[in-house]
A and B are shown apart, each in its own frame.
Chain A
Amino acid sequence: MPKVVLEKVSKKFGRITALNEINLMLEDGEYSCILGPTGSGKTTLLKIIAGLVEPDSGDVYIDGRRVTGTPAETRNAVYMHQNYALFPHLTVSQNIIFGLTARGFSEEDARRKVSEVLEIVRLREWADAYPRELSGGMQQRAALARCLATGARLLLLDEPLGALDARLRLEVRRELSRIAEELNLTVVHVTHDQSEALSLADRLILMRNGKIVQAGPPEEVYFKPNSIFSAYFVGESIFLEGIIRSVNGRNVTLELKNGMAIEALSDDSFNMGELAVAAVRCEDIEVGGGPLTGSLKEVNFLGSFAKLVFELPRGLKIIVNIPLSRFIKEEFRIGASFQLSIPREKVHLFKPPSKGLAGEIEAV
């Protein structure tokens, strides 16, 4: 049963620290998504599990067996590269057979297995085609079939949907989820797309600068972000800086930079006069009624929802996402004034980051 454990794994490339003392445990049959921006160390982590990169320190266990230092081919874990790495000189079925003969299958068993996995990924008619003759989506499925055929129960996927068209990406996403579920695979899936990670994962692992920021079920990461970065990178939030003006049991009041105040719930960690950052999900802000007044500056329609940008006094910007059903019912005229409210139970309070807020939430 493939259970993956990483203990204090660190890796440096020259002077750059790719991974910094990573501890991680992935259960058997679990679908984990490692989410993070470019350079967060997520691919290195995956390659260390695969055995393609050796950690500088720390240990990797698969199935309770310590595999640190053992060659990749003995780990019974298959790694799927972002560009699929299909062997260009072999047909689809020959590509699949490669992994089978490498693992000592007889020719007959290999043939049977090939048709079996091609059935799973729905590529039966393309068995004798060369990779270059397949479309991007089909190549992706062929690569997946090649991994599945080896019988390895641990699948390591490096941005498996990254090279596909946006539309196709959605379809293949659902397909991937179906296959993983049917075959009860343990999957580790690396991506920088938060909605992909949210919809696929049993467990979401958010990484940044070689460290794990937050790990847990997607709902937990989404609804209870443990840090500003977490609230920023998963989903969409606005961030408001301010100073704590009153503490009344769990109720606190935060005075924003523009002089306005919002209410929030907090644990005991905040005191009067302290600086704090409030994070609020853009869909949690209510439009129509409420203590704040803003004028509508911009409307962006995005299909499932619309993004409204409100400007409040002294240049404070609040972005609100409202569902399509509401967007088409009411009129949102640019320049008009709206009442806004931020429900106190939807506000997440954080200590101000040492390097300033911009350092945490600017992607470009």
Chain B
Amino acid sequence: MPSVKVESVTKRFGGFTALEKVSINIEDREYVSIIGPSGCGKTTLLRIIAGIIRDYEGHVYVDGRLFDSEPLEKRGIGYVFQNIALFPNMNVGGNVSYSPRAKGLDKSVVRTTTIEMLELMKLTERYYDYPRSLSGGMQQKTALARALASNARLLLLDEPLSLLDLKVRTELRYELRRIVKDLGLTAIHVTHDQEEAMAISDRIIVMRRARVVEDGTPLDLYLHPKRIFTAYFLGESNIFEGNVAEADEDTVSIDVGSLLIKARNTGFQTGERVVAMLRPELVELGGDINARVLKKTIEGLFSRIILDVNGIKIIIKQPYSIVSGIGEGSYVKIRLPEKHILVYKYPGRDLYSELSLY
């Protein structure tokens, strides 16, 4: 039963630090995503757990067993690659049966495992096809079947969907989760796509600049991020800079220029410099703030509207049906609901570098 523990791992490539004292814990049968901007170290972390990268400081334990000097082929992991990496010299059947053959298993075992995995991925008809004749989505499904045929209980997924068409990507991610859950596997999934991470995982680990920023369930990270960077990186957000104009036990009023924003007080004093955050989906229509519609676009499942409130830009997202009557240039009333506004201490350096992706 694979649980994974990474203890204070540091990895440097020449002068570049890819990981700086990273520690994470993953429970058995948990589906965890690691997300972050490119270059944040997420892939390096995955490769260290897989044993592809061997020289690092710190320790990796799987099931409580020290794994640092375990050779790659003995780790019992299934690794799924971004570039899919199906063996071009073998057909689908050959690829999927690779692992049992390489382990020298009995012919009959090789056969049953292969067929079983192909059935699971609905690929049985493709047994004799070569990878190049399959679509991208099929190829990745074959790669997954190949990894599962090794009887691995721990699945490491390195941006497995990022090279696929969007539509294929969204369909495949649910299939991925279904299979992992059905088979009771532990999965670590690296991605830069926040929506994918939210849709697929039990828990998300956010990384930036070689460190872990924070971790939590998708809903927690989206609604109550502990760090302003998480709010910025995960989904879209309205971020306001300002000073606390008034503070009592329950509420604070934040002066963000030409607007006073009220929020629950989580320990701030009058005069303190703060940052307030509100998700565009949680801005409510109807209220006493008058706003002009600057731009309205449809974005897949909802309307995204940029509003102007006395020179301050506020983004809102609402279902089409609700805002169908609102056109560019018109005025709407909005409310910024107190309970959904999160207030953060103004970051030590400045907001820009706190939010920077790299």
Contacts and interface: CB of A to CB of B under 8 A. Distances in A.
Q: Do chains A and B touch in the complex (CB under 8 A)?
A: yes
Interface of A: 37-38, 135-136, 165-168, 170, 192-195, 198-200, 218-219, 222-223, 233, 235-236, 282-284, 300-305, 307, 321, 323-325, 328, 363-364
A283 B136 contact: no
B93 interface: no
Interface of B: 37-38, 135-138, 141, 165-168, 171-172, 174-175, 192-196, 198-199, 218-219, 222-223, 233-236, 279-282, 284, 297-302, 304, 317-321, 357-358
B193 A364 contact: no
Contacts of B319: 283, 323
A298 B311 CA distance: 42
B233 A199 contact: no
B138 to A, nearest CB: 6
Given A167-B233, A363-B165, A364-B172, A301 B302 contact: no
A114 B27 CA distance: 54
**What 6 pairs across the A-B complex have the smallest Cβ distances?**
A195-B300, A364-B137, A324-B281, A166-B193, A303-B235, A199-B297
B194 A167 contact: yes
Contact of A363 (B168, B218, B219, B318): B168
A99 B357 CA distance: 32
A198 B219 contact: no
Contacts of B165: 37-38, 192, 363
Contacts of A222: 298
Contacts of B320: 223, 283
Nearest to A195: B300
A233 B165 CA distance: 11
B137 A301 contact: no
Given A167-B37, A301-B218, A304-B301, 15 more contacts: A37-B167, A136-B38, A165-B37, A166-B192, A166-B196, A195-B299, A195-B300, A198-B298, A303-B198, A324-B222, A324-B281, A324-B282, A325-B281, A363-B165, A363-B171
A166 B195 contact: yes
A218 B168 contact: no
6 contacts: A165-B357, A167-B194, A194-B300, A199-B298, A235-B301, A303-B281
Contacts of A136: 38
A58 B13 CA distance: 55
A38 B135 contact: yes
Nearest to B193: A166
| Among A165, A198, A223: residue with most chain B CB under 10 A | A165
A284 B192 CA distance: 30
A163 to B, nearest CB: 10
A219 B303 CA distance: 11
B242 to A, nearest CB: 23
B166 A193 contact: yes
Contacts of A192: 165-167
A303 B222 contact: yes
Given A38-B135, A219-B298, A364-B138, A167 B219 contact: no
A123 B321 CA distance: 40
Contacts of B37: 165, 167-168
A300 B281 contact: no
Contacts of B141: 364
A198 B174 contact: no
A165 B38 contact: yes
A324 B280 CA distance: 10
Contacts of B192: 165-167
Given A135-B358, A167-B192, A300-B199, A199 B304 contact: yes
Contact of A305 (B136, B219, B297, B301): B301
B137 A302 contact: no
Contacts of A328: 223
A301 B196 CA distance: 10
Nearest to B223: A328
B301 A283 contact: yes
